[in-house]
Chains A and B, each alone.
Chain A
Amino acid sequence: MPSPQEYMLLVPEIFLASAGLLLLLFGTLLGLNNRDSAWVSGVALVLTAGLLFRVHGSVPGRLLILQGAFVLDGFSFFMKLLLLAATVLTILLSVRFLEEGKYRPTEYYALILLATSGMLFMASGYSLLTIWISLETMALASYILAGYFKHHTRSNEAALKYFILGALSSGIMLYGISLLYGAAGTVQLGALARGLGEASAAGNRLVPLGWILLACGLFFKVSAVPFHVWTPDVYVGAPTPVTAYLAVASKAASFAILLRIFYEGLGTLQVEWQGVVAVVAAATMIWGNVAALTQDNVKRMLAYSSIAHAGYILIGVLAVSEIGLWSVLFYLLAYTFITMGAFATVILLERKEYAGETCADYAGLAHRSRFLAAMMLVFLLALTGIPPTGGFFGKVYLFAAAVQAGWTWVAVVGVLTSAISLFYYFRIVVYMYLKEPTQATPVPLRAPALVAAIAFCAVATLVLGLYPEPFIQMAKASLLPLP
């Protein structure tokens, strides 16, 4: 029976989930408006971060609680802070967007808080069932968020596709988990690794089937090829702040469980899954980048680009080395600011929910708003991986990890596809700087929260590029144990 002290260590997660529920309840009763709800959720997130620091400060090293179902370590701390930062940025992105539409704001913010609390549990989950349930917490809230513009068929379509495919993948994952349980007799990651090692040595056929099904579910969540097909439609159809949230926070949380499961749960099967991850990474980079080439809708292009970036991150996963691990963490950090910034710029240019999303809408942006064009340029350079931006260093470390670990061919695919990516990212640059504007009116910067988010992300992107050292140190202090 877990002691009450153990629950004290869950205070941040419990606090955030309660904040979400209370916002849902009292927001409706009191009729909180958009701005108030945003403030409440922002404050709740910041307080959660404060509580996290206290809890983390009180735990030296690594601690398993709740009968080994929940782990407190540097890795979970890093991921949780990252997720909270991404959620705060999402809130900043949402304020103006919700003002324009005629949708109720309170539930929106409450759902975001609930999804985030699910993500926090994912970062700390140490048993396959804890992980699966927290994943579902996140996913159910995300399905609703994707369909939040209920009067738009696009948004409905996104939600429905996301739900059906998401449910399918969760089912597959659960099936994989049950097979692994059958083989190892446990779902707790540490014991599972030992059990699977023995079962595998004994030639148990459940083991390969189980981990492959589990991996399929994980690949679905991080939108790796060939489980990526839902991504473009969902990203395009969902309200743009939700897209940003899915592309950044949801992806980061999914990578957290992917790393945790592969490194700690399937650690003894490393040699087997490395080959699969290598092929999936290469396919993801190639398909993501090549498919992005032909996109004219900026959100769709960013969706494919997020697929491609999942491929780059998988390179770091595959290396199974110290540098591979911290480079994944560093990349997730950089990717958070870059992608949030890019989506924030898209949102600022959007009008009436979905208009203003094609490349042509960016024509002559440099004339209409020098600030926005310059910011977008920074994000696009970072996504391409050109210095001096965080995106460059992130990629360099990932490729370095692959070269060191002997996966040179994957690194070659990575560098070549990232050179290809220049072509579609710079299509927007071409429109912004090299083409004449179709309309001469300057873009007004009337949304202070959004502009602040853009500026912050751009500064963070450049700081990560010019002086990455402190952030690398942070990532290095947050490593998982290597298998």
Chain B
Amino acid sequence: MFDWVHTVPILSIVAYVPLLGALVVMFLMKSDQGGLIRKFSTGVVVLDFLLSLPLWFAFKRDGAGADLFQFKESHPWIESIGARYEFGIDGIALLLVLLTTLLGVLAFLSSWGAIRTREKEYYIFLLLLQTGMLGVFMAMDFFLFYVFWEVMLVPMYFLIGIWGGSRKLYASIKFFLYTLVGSVLMLLGILALYFFNAGGLLGWEGLGNPATFSILQFHEIGHLIPKDLQFWIFLAFFVGFAIKVPMFPFHTWLPDAHVEAPTAGSVILAGVLLKMGTYGFIRFSLPILPDGTRQLLPWMAALSIIGIIYGGLVAMAQKDMKKLVAYSSVSHLGFVMLGLFALNGPGINGAVLQMINHGLSTGALFLLVGIVYERRHTRLISEYGGLSSIMPLYATVFLIITMSSIGLPTLNGFIGEFTILVGAFDRAWWWALLAALGIVIGAAYMLWMFQRVFFGPVTNPENASLKDLSRREVAYLAPLVILCFVIGLWPGPFFKVIEQPVKYLVEKVDPTLATAAAQAGE
């Protein structure tokens, strides 16, 4: 039924529909047609989401080897340096693409009430951002990947800078500078890899292969790269990806950017942009630089664990709900990184799933905070109290998402965190112990916030007349709540889709472990 998907350049279509939408808005619509622009651009992302759904059904779960990456497209681009226009996704990228198109729809819907100034520019930037993010997950050429990776910074800069809060100028340029510094250093790493594959560089003799930026080719030569070169390239990649994740101590841009960004910006930032960092580790650092990974493993684990605990503790001290959620992201992403650096099946499986979970639950949390902010124009926890009696539906949704975020069984967070802990325990028992401490802290700050905002008497008279969720708000929260339950109760299909890619990754990064596992299975 979905065979036709393999015959059309579906990835390019999904990636460029938002771009086309942006061009239509840019050239055909006038700035005073706010309503039209709003509806049209939301229509575009809904269409894009619908177009991306067939990917899920047409994707071949058991595709290993050459079929690991599917829906491939390959065209010549800059032949002089061997860069090609290549798209393709494996199971991991598939999940992230779907997450991007889904959160895109929700972000657009959530902007309808919140954004009333310069709407034309707003929706143009939001649409361009969609294209940039999708391109990052789909690119199979490292150079193309890098182009999308940087292109995407520009619309995000404007979203924070124009429609952000009071410190928007500071937050937007900080976001841009941090990520740019990281990515230019990463670029040097890419170039080093490129020259090693081809003619060689510095004192290292190259492999003499045809010059290419193909990611699969780099995967093939990973084990041939000398250890010291791997170390340096790993560091270069690390700076780029770790700033994006963000890992401790590169996280300081995140609270500023999150707090100042408009709701839609925060949702996309937390839901998708941070995943680019972890995706970078999965796609590049681990499989291409297995020796570099193992050399720096203790450092990576230490930074992840510090991130988990430090992020949690700082979150606990926050008075602003959005800031609290922002710091909780630092903690959650620490989990993801720890799972990845367990370098075994469960750890990486859990990390990938937790990337999706974090996108759903943190996305939802930012949407929820945005909803009361639109009504009261404050996010201070102390301004609220007793909201459960005034906004019962809102409180229910908030509670479900809180539970998802702290990892209550039957909800998605539990599956992800539990699998990560299994993987971490397998690598070193004390990693799991410290990470479990992070879960306790996570429960503490989330529940404490929930208690202060929703329980007790209504202390602030301004809250007494707050309206409960509108239909539009229910509409954009419902998919997230449903998905939280779906993943929590029935994670099988999600693990199934990433099974082959994770197996492939484990083989690349830790061949000894992979063979041991295979023998144990026999």
Contacts and interface: CB of A to CB of B under 8 A. Distances in A.
Given A416-B181, A434-B162, A469-B79, A426 B173 contact: yes
Contacts of A472: 78, 80-81
A442 interface: no
Nearest to A367: B118
Nearest to A417: B184
Interface stretch (B58-66, B190-198, B434-442): B190-198
Given A403-B192, A434-B162, A434-B168, A476 B151 contact: no
Given A430-B173, A434-B161, A404 B80 contact: no
Contact of B80 (A399, A415, A473): A473
Contacts of B184: 415-416, 418-419
B150 A419 contact: no
Per DSSP, chain B at the interface is helix
B199 interface: yes
A411 B189 CA distance: 11
A463 to B, nearest CB: 13
A392 interface: yes
Contacts of B146: 387
A415 B177 contact: no
A430 B153 contact: no
Nearest to B178: A419
A387 B147 CA distance: 6
Contacts of A388: 147, 151
A437 interface: no
A422 B180 contact: yes
B176 A430 contact: no
A92 to B, nearest CB: 25
By CB atoms of chain B within 10 A, which of A393, A416, A419 has the most?
A419
By CB atoms of chain A within 10 A, which of B80, B151, B154, B157 has the most?
B80
A430 B180 contact: no
A186 B146 CA distance: 49
B177 A400 contact: no
A476 B195 contact: no
B150 to A, nearest CB: 5
Contacts of B147: 387-388, 392
A423 interface: yes
Contacts of B150: 386-387, 392
A443 to B, nearest CB: 16
Contacts of A447: none
Nearest to A469: B78
Contact of A386 (B151, B173, B203): B151
A404 B195 contact: yes
A472 B79 CA distance: 9
A433 B158 contact: yes
B161 A415 contact: no
A403 B188 contact: yes
B447 interface: no
A144 to B, nearest CB: 41
B474 interface: no
A426 B162 contact: no
Given A386-B151, A415-B185, A476 B80 contact: yes
Interface string A380-424: 010000111000110011011001101010011001101100110
Contacts of A404: 191, 195, 199, 201
Q: How big is chain A's contact interface, by range? A: 20 to 34
B518 interface: no
B77 interface: yes
A468 interface: yes
Contacts of B81: 397, 400, 472
Interface string B150-178: 11011001100110000011001100110
Contact of A419 (B162, B181, B195): B181
A412 B188 contact: yes
B214 to A, nearest CB: 17
Nearest to A387: B147
Nearest to B76: A469
A472 B172 CA distance: 35
A387 B187 CA distance: 13
Given A386-B151, A387-B147, A399 B191 contact: yes
By CB atoms of chain B within 10 A, which of A404, A408, A416, A468 has the most?
A404
Contacts of A419: 177, 180-181, 184
Given A416-B184, A430-B173, A433-B162, A406 B194 contact: no
A403 B186 CA distance: 13
A396 B142 CA distance: 13
A34 to B, nearest CB: 34
Nearest to A393: B78
Contact of A423 (B80, B177, B188, B191): B177
Interface in B112-127: 121
A269 B289 CA distance: 39
B520 interface: no
Contacts of A423: 173, 177
A397 B195 CA distance: 12
B386 to A, nearest CB: 38
B194 A400 contact: yes
Contacts of A434: 161-162, 168-169, 172
B202 A408 contact: yes
Given A387-B147, A422-B176, A434-B168, A408 B80 contact: no
B133 to A, nearest CB: 15
A290 to B, nearest CB: 14
A473 B80 CA distance: 7
Contacts of A426: 157, 173, 176
A406 B78 contact: no
Nearest to B179: A419
Nearest to B161: A434
Contacts of A408: 188, 202
B176 A396 contact: no
A465 B195 CA distance: 22
B177 A403 contact: no
B505 to A, nearest CB: 27
Interface string A48-60: 0000000000000
25 contacts: A386-B150, A386-B154, A387-B147, A387-B151, A392-B147, A400-B195, A403-B192, A403-B201, A404-B195, A404-B199, A406-B202, A408-B188, A415-B184, A415-B188, A416-B184, A419-B177, A419-B184, A422-B176, A422-B177, A422-B180, A433-B121, A433-B162, A434-B168, A469-B77, A472-B81
Given A433-B121, A467-B78, A469-B80, 19 more contacts: A386-B153, A386-B154, A396-B187, A399-B188, A403-B188, A404-B191, A404-B195, A415-B184, A416-B181, A423-B173, A423-B177, A426-B157, A426-B173, A426-B176, A433-B162, A472-B80, A472-B81, A473-B80, A476-B80
Interface of B: 77-81, 121, 146-147, 150-151, 153-154, 157-158, 161-162, 168-169, 172-173, 176-177, 180-181, 184-185, 187-188, 191-192, 194-195, 199, 201-203
The 10 closest A-B pairs by CB, nearest first: A415-B184, A472-B80, A387-B147, A406-B202, A419-B181, A403-B191, A419-B180, A400-B191, A434-B161, A404-B195
